[in-house]
Structures are given as structure tokens and as C-alpha cells.
Structure 1
Amino acid sequence: MTDHAEQPLSAHLLELRRRLLWAGGGVLLCLLAMLPWAQDIYTLIAKPLLAALPPQSGMIATDVTAPLFVPLKVTLVAAVLVSLPHTLYHLWAFVAPALYRKEKRLIVPLLVSSVLLFALGMAFCYFLVFPAAFRFLAAMTPDGVNMATDISSYLSFVLGMFLAFGAAFEVPVAVVLLYGAGVVSLAALRAARPYVVVGAFVVAAVVTPPDILSQVMLAVPMLALYEIGLLVCRSIRRDPSES
């Protein structure tokens, strides 16, 4: 560790405050830059559902202020995601001085992998899961019923799905962290495969729409990513006798 770790608590709190201000400023800057395209950003998010609706159908706004505030909320979330590398840099700059060299070598790839995997999970959800799920839900709409979704409800659903798929794609990072911290062994991770299979399908059944295709489209990538995590653990195994 460096002398930074031996500084008084007040110095750490001031440094944390400074880093948080820089991170918040990055989010604010991205938000201001993206505000002119707030309506376009929401249209892009709504595109998978609109493509599945019957012709001449659309979405509705049951709240008077929803047409204004819902696109702003979407833009804020987009700004947080766009500025995430900047935010993680300041998080890293705050904790790095207190880490050993070995820990630094491990945490940097994990941070980069976490961002990329979360983005990959969101992209997978948007381009593959949403079209399949919305086509299924539109096909199941009874005759005489107009499938007109409220834009606020749709935003909540989309954000929840993005969070679920983004978090699910973090499975390799979680596996590597558990193994690297010595919480579990490589043999225990391999022995847990049957429970992981059951858990993946249970999680998929809870967080996805009620169709088999969407559930499989979440569970199968989770299982594949778990195996990738095992391969990474094997490449960095702590005990040379492990195989």
C-alpha cells in the first residue's frame, strides 16, 4: 500500500467528494449534450415495441406530463451509461492508491469486463429479446383488445429488463471474483453446475415476460457465461494442482 492509505479520514472524505463531483459533472455534461435528442432517444427505445404493434397502433400517455418527462428520464439513463467509463475512472482513481500491485492487475480487467458485459447484455436484450417478446405478447392479445401501452409503464419495463440482462451478463465477473477472493474453489464451482442450471432458469422465469423463448434467451447465455467464468478461473488458478 501507499502512504495514501494512511491519510486521515477527513482527507479520504474530501478526495471522495472531489471524485463524486467529477463523476456527477460527467453525467451532467452528457445529459446536456443529449437533451436536444431526447425525443429521438425515446423513439429508439420504443422501436422494438412499435414494430410489433398492429398498423396504425401506437403508445399512449395517461399522465399529462409523461410526454415531457419520460423522454427526459430515458435521456438521463442514457447519459449515465455513456459517462460510465468516466465514472469508473474516478472510482478507480479513488481506490487504486490503497490496493496492492496484484490487486490492481486483477481489478482493472474486471472493471473493463464489467462495463463491456453489461453493455453486451443490454444490446442482447434490445436486439434479440425485445423483438421476440413483443411479437409474442402482440400475438397473444385477444380479439377486440387494442394493445396500447402507456409510455411510463413501458419505460419501467425496459429499464427493468436492461438491468436484468446487464446484471445476468456479469456472471463471469462474479465467478472470477468469488474464486479470486478464495471464497470458493474451482472444484466447487464445477460441482455447482446443476444448481446453476436450475438457478438460471428460475431467474429467467422471474425477470422475463411469460414466454418460453424469452426465458431461454436469458438462461442459456447465463449458463454459457458461467462456463466462460470457469475457463478464466482455470487460467488464473491459485493452486497449480487444480485442473
Structure 2
Amino acid sequence: MNKPNMEEEPQEMSFVDHLEELRWHIIRSLSSILVFAIIAFLAKGFVFHDIILAPSRTDFLSYRFLCELGERIGSDVLCITDLGFTIQSRQMSGQFAMHIMVSLVLGLACAFPYAFWEIWRFVSPGLYPEEQKNSRGAVFFVSVLFMLGLLFGYYVVSPISINFLASYQVDPSILNEFDLSSYISTLTTLCLACAIMFQLPVVVYFFTKAGLLTPEIMKLYRRHSIIIILVIAAIITPPDIISQLLIAMPLLVLYEVSIRVSSSIRKRDLKRLNQNDTI
């Protein structure tokens, strides 16, 4: 008499089961964003005075740093004493709408590591064991690069862009009175654009592992990439050359770092392939 098989083989999930699992991962991701958005909405005073509107005042950290740097080198050119603009809300529901939008953006920024981890939990089981091994730490590096890009956009690109746009005048008789929605959209666009663009090394890593990209290709098309980076920087930044260069410079550095990442992965794969051939 045959003994019953005590260990049942794991059953493959159906398409509907995969959709159900994906739905719960998305629900948990959106819930985390909503929780942080509610917290940001309730902390209205701190969020708007100390975070959103901080780059519009001369006591902002970046402006104070530039002023101290100017004092050390014996020049007052870098010291910003007046931004020369006011922020107004010209629509009845303008402040309330911006309050909701800012809360959602901050909710996304704060919950990004957890939300990405939830999506990664759904994707990673479908990878081969070798691919899972090679992608260890993906959530950590993606989250770190996202936060670094966000901080770079907030403390470097945004204040310099705001200062340039605020001080630019075609005629002294024209006053710079910006609408609240215009100011916030400029600030959030710059910060989120930097956060996304800082993911370049991660994208290059996975493309190299998939065999779609090699360091030789990246070196061959380096000049083309520089032009593309400058065009992207011109699209996502206000129409001033300073902010465009501030976006383009770190992207060029990240591109060179990505070449190193692709090269190291390529050498490791070739070394592993040679070891397998000799066995």
C-alpha cells in the first residue's frame, strides 16, 4: 500500500490570485501614503511655514549657508537679503486645494520606502533565485537615492531657482507677486524631478543585469547622453540656466557612476561565466 505523500507541492497561483495579491499590496502602499498625508494635513502650520514656504524667506538654511560662505571669502555677493516677491492666493479655494496637494506629495515622499517595499514584495517572488540574489538591497538603495534626490532638489536646486525667478525683472515697474499654486508647483516639481533622476544608477544596474546595457555602450554614447541630460534638465526646471545646470551636473556625475556600476557588474558576470566554463 502506498504511503500518502505528507509533503504537498506548492500550488501555483492563478491569474486571479495574483491580481488579488497585487491588489492588497497596492492597498497597503496607498494606505501608507494616505496615513502620512493625513499627518501632514493636520500639521498645517509646521508643514507650510517650516517646509513649503521656507525657501521663500531669507532665513532659509541654504541662503544662510551661502551668506556665511560669502563672509568667509570676503564677498557679500552670495548673501541674499531680499527675495523681492510676495505669494498670494487669487482663487477662493486656492489655499485649501494647495493644502490637500501638499499633504499628498509629502505623504508620497515619506511613505515611498514602505510603498516601494510593498511593490517589491510582489515582484521579487517571480524572479529567479540568481536574480533575487543579485537584487538584494534594492529597496534600500532605491529609497536612499530617492531621499538624496529629494533633499538635493529642496536644499540646492529649489532655493537657487526661486531666487533667480523672484529677482528676474524685465522692467522695474513690474512687481513679482506669485500665486500660491505656481510657487508650490515649482517647488514640488523640482524636488520630485531630482528624486526620480537620482534613480539612474539603479536603472542602469537592472538593465545591465538583463543584458540590455553594457559599459561600452554607455561610454560610446556619452556625448549623446550629455545632450539628453541637458534637454531633460531644461524640461523639468524653470527657464533659467542656473537651475538647469544644477540638475544636469549631478546627473552627469550619476551617469559616470552608473558606468562604473555597469562595468563592475559586467566583470563579475564574465568572471562567473569563466569559472563555470572551467568546471
SS of match in other structure, 1:35: helix
2:165 equivalent to 1:137: yes
2:55 equivalent to 1:48: yes
**More helix by percentage:** 1
- With over 3 angstroms needed to count, the CA separation of the structure-2 counterparts of 1:48 and 1:25, relative to structure 1, is same
Cα distance between partner residues in 2 of 1:86 and 1:76 = 15
Largest Rg, 1 or 2: 2
**What residue in structure 2 maps to residue 85 of structure 1?**
113
2:18 equivalent to 1:12: yes
CA RMSD of aligned residues (A): 2.3
Can you list the C-alpha shifts for 1:15-57, whole angstroms capped at 9, x where unaligned?
Answer: 1122222222222222233322124212321221343794785
Runs of 4+ in 1 over 4 A off after TM superposition: 52-57
**Unmatched 5+ residue regions in structure 2?**
1-8, 59-79, 273-279
**Percent identity, aligned pairs only?**
27
SS of match in other structure, 2:87: coil
**Unmatched 5+ residue regions in structure 1?**
none
Q: Superposition pairs for residues 1-243 of structure 1, below 5 Å?
A: 3=10, 6-43=12-49, 44-51=51-58, 54=82, 57-141=85-169, 142-237=171-266, 238-240=269-271
Task: Give the CA deviation at 1:85.
Answer: 1.8
Q: Indicate conservation of the 8 Å contact 1:22/1:90, yes or no.
A: yes
Cα distance between partner residues in 2 of 1:53 and 1:146 = 17
SS of match in other structure, 2:31: helix
- With over 3 angstroms needed to count, the CA separation of the structure-2 counterparts of 1:140 and 1:177, relative to structure 1, is same
Q: Indicate conservation of the 8 Å contact 1:49/1:130, yes or no.
A: no
How many residue pairs match? The answer is 239
Can you list the C-alpha shifts for 1:139-184, whole angstroms capped at 9, x where unaligned?
Answer: 2223122211111122222222223212221221222222111012
What amino acid is aligned across from residue 216 of structure 1 in structure 2?
Answer: L
Q: Indicate conservation of the 8 Å contact 1:41/1:71, yes or no.
A: no
- With over 3 angstroms needed to count, the CA separation of the structure-2 counterparts of 1:148 and 1:3, relative to structure 1, is farther
Q: TM-score, normalised by structure 2?
A: 0.78
Task: Give the CA deviation at 1:128.
Answer: 1.1
What amino acid is aligned across from residue 195 of structure 1 in structure 2?
Answer: H
Task: Give the CA deviation at 1:102.
Answer: 1.8
- With over 3 angstroms needed to count, the CA separation of the structure-2 counterparts of 1:229 and 1:81, relative to structure 1, is same
Q: Indicate conservation of the 8 Å contact 2:56/2:83, yes or no.
A: no
Can you list the C-alpha shifts for 1:99-125, whole angstroms capped at 9, x where unaligned?
Answer: 222222333433322222122112111
Task: Give the CA deviation at 1:224.
Answer: 0.6
